[in-house]
C-alpha cells in the first residue's frame, strides 16, 4: 500500500488511506492495491465493515482502480486458500498458475501486456507489448472477455488488465513498473 501511496504522491496527488465507510465516501476515486490472500483481504474488509460501502461507491459510479489482489477481488471466486467468493463484479474465476518447465510460481518479474479490445484510457500513450512488473501466484480467467483490455502469457494466457465502465484493474504493479507504470497511474488520475 505504501509504494502505491508514494507513487501517487510523486505524481503530485493528494492521497488518503481509507479504513472507514465515511472515508470511502469522502474521496473522488478509489484505488485498491493488494498483496496476499483473497480470503484474508476479504476478512479484513468484513471486520472493518467496508465491503458493502466499497461496492456501493463502485456501483454509484466512483472511479476505481484495482492493483494485483485488487483485480482478483473483482471476480466471482478465487481458488486461493481453499476457495472464497469475491466481489462478483466481473464474471470469472481466479486460479493458481499451473507452472511447468521454466515457469516458477509465483510469477515474479517483468512480463508484457498485450493490449486488446477497446482502447482503454488507462493505457493512453503506452505501447502494446510494454513490460510491467508482476508478483502473483494466481491469475484471472474472465468469463466476460469484452472487459479484458490487456492479456499476459505465463503458461496460460490470462486477463492482466480489465475495464468495465468505471472499473479499471491491473494484475501488475504499476508503482513498480517504472515509466510505463507511472503513465498508467497518471492516466487514472486524469480520468
pLDDT digits (tens, 9 = 90+) for 113-172: 999 866 899 999 999 999 999 999 999 999 999 999 999 999 999 999 999 999 999 999
Task: Return the pLDDT at 128.
Answer: 96
- Give catalytic residues, as residue numbers: 68, 173, 175
**Cα dist from 25 to 5, 46, 110, 116, 173, whole Å:** 18, 17, 35, 33, 25
Task: Return the pLDDT at 1.
Answer: 79
Model confidence pTM above 0.85:
yes
**Cα dist from 97 to 4, 104, 106, 142, whole Å:** 25, 9, 8, 15
Specify the number of domains making up the chain: 1
Task: Return the pLDDT at 136.
Answer: 97
Task: Return the pLDDT at 119.
Answer: 85
- Domain of 167 in residue numbering reads as 2-190
The SS3 call for residue 153 is: strand
- Measured in degrees and rounded to the nearest 5, phi and psi for residue 103 equal -120, 95
Q: pLDDT of 15-58, one tens digit each?
A: 999 999 999 999 999 999 988 899 999 999 999 999 999 999 99
CATH number at residue 182: 3.40.50.880
Q: Bigger pLDDT: 65 or 101?
A: 65
How many Å apart are CA 78 and CA 40, to the nearest integer? 12
Q: At what angle do helices 51-59 and 38-47 cross, to 10 degrees?
A: 100
Q: pLDDT of 73-125, one tens digit each?
A: 999 999 998 999 999 999 999 999 998 888 999 999 999 999 986 689 999 99
Amino acid at each position: 500500500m505504501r509504494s502505491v501511496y508514494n507513487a501517487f504522491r510523486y505524481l503530485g496527488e493528494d492521497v488518503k488511506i481509507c479504513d472507514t465507510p465515511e472515508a470511502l465516501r469522502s474521496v473522488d476515486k478509489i484505488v485498491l492495491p493488494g498483496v496476499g490472500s483473497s480470503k484474508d483481504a476479504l476478512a479484513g474488509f468484513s471486520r472493518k465493515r467496508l465491503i458493502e460501502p466499497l461496492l456501493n461507491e463502485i456501483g454509484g459510479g466512483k472511479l476505481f482502480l484495482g492493483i494485483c489482489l485488487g483485480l482478483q477481488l473483482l471476480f466471482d471466486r478465487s481458488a486461493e486458500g481453499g476457495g472464497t467468493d469475491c466481489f462478483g463484479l466481473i464474471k470469472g474465476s481466479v486460479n493458481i498458475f499451473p507452472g511447468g518447465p521454466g515457469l516458477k510460481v509465483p510469477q515474479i518479474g517483468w512480463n508484457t501486456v498485450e493490449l486488446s479490445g477497446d482502447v482503454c484510457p488507462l493505457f493512453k500513450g503506452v505501447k502494446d507489448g510494454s513490460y510491467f512488473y508482476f508478483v502473483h501466484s494466481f491469475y484471472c480467467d474472465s468469463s466476460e472477455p469484452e472487459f479484458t483490455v490487456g492479456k499476459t502469457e505465463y503458461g496460460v494466457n490470462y486477463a492482466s488488465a480489465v475495464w468495465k465502465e468505471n472499473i479499471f484493474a491491473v494484475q501488475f504493479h504499476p508503482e513498480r513498473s517504472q515509466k510505463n507504470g507511472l503513465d498508467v497511474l497518471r492516466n487514472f488520475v486524469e480520468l
